[in-house]
Amino acid sequence: MADKQISLPAKLINGGIAGLIGVTCVFPIDLAKTRLQNQQNGQRMYTSMSDCLIKTIRSEGYFGMYRGAAVNLTLVTPEKAIKLAANDFFRHHLSKDGKKLTLLREMLAGCGAGTCQVIVTTPMEMLKIQLQDAGRIAAQKKLMAAQLSAAAGAAEPVVEARTTATQITRELLRSKGIAGLYKGLGATLLRDVPFSIVYFPLFANLNKLGQKDPDVKAPFYVSFLSGCLAGSTAAVAVNPCDVIKTRLQSLQRGVNEDTYSGILDCTKKIWQKEGPTAFFKGAYCRALVIAPLFGIAQVVYFIGIAEFLLDLLPKHRA
């Protein structure tokens, strides 16, 4: 991220800490983003992020906003660690004798980081999306059942059968093997590689604006704001790819909702049936999720929590 030299264990710990803090803070917004992206025209359950969160609390309780959070909290550490460490690795090997990287080389380093992270990101997103969207589908079925029962004059409650990430994983492995967990891999690459190509060079250059001296790192608030601005910009830029990825990875569909055979089929159907604006569903939610997530990552790097903890280890051994 920043150009300061940090050991690999410290990078991994910093990435993990930043990911855990960030996910805890913004997960409800991410849940709203997934549900808004998955709802199709004619089957709209929510009108906005706030409407989605209010209805979620009413129907599923406060902790309903954190459905799927356990998956993220478990896998975000290796995901963020791989992303941050890979970017530093590629930046180091693309630099010539410690000279400043050109914009093209910065983008190549970001491309390498985005490619590496999908090893963890794809199964994490696959499981998270099923759990996040389950409440929307259940609410839609309850609404349809209520309308039918009102017309028929009889009420028959619909009970949601809750599944866990473990159950979904077992079923996918049993029916499709490891490939089941990597459904949407191409779409994930299509989102994460361009994101990293935009984010890392933009952050590095914004952060340098706050450096009074090239040899002195920027103040932590500059790194935080640079991470927020670069993260939100990259998030909105690749939101169309995120919509496609979310649709492709969703195993369950609502009533009368389209299914997709691949990236091109998904893109075509969304464009024809929902219009170009559909590719930016949940864009502001995604910007609100990514901005603090990467801003926090910069603060963690600035404070050097991992370096402090690692420095304590020899003392304890002694």
Distances (CA, A) of 5 to 23, 109, 210: 26, 16, 19
For residue 270, what pLDDT band results from cuts at 50, 70 and 90?
A: very high
**pTM of this structure:** 0.83
Contact 9, 308 (CB under 8 A): no
Half-sphere exposure of 283 (CA within 13 A, CB side): 13
Provide CB contacts within 8 A for 203, sequence distance 6+. 1, 226, 227, 230, 231, 294, 298
pLDDT in tens, 161-217: 678 889 999 999 999 999 999 999 999 999 999 999 999 899 988 988 888 877 777
In terms of Cβ atoms closer than 10 Å to its own Cβ (0-12, 13-18, 19+), residue 193 is buried
pLDDT in tens, 26-42: 899 999 999 999 988 76
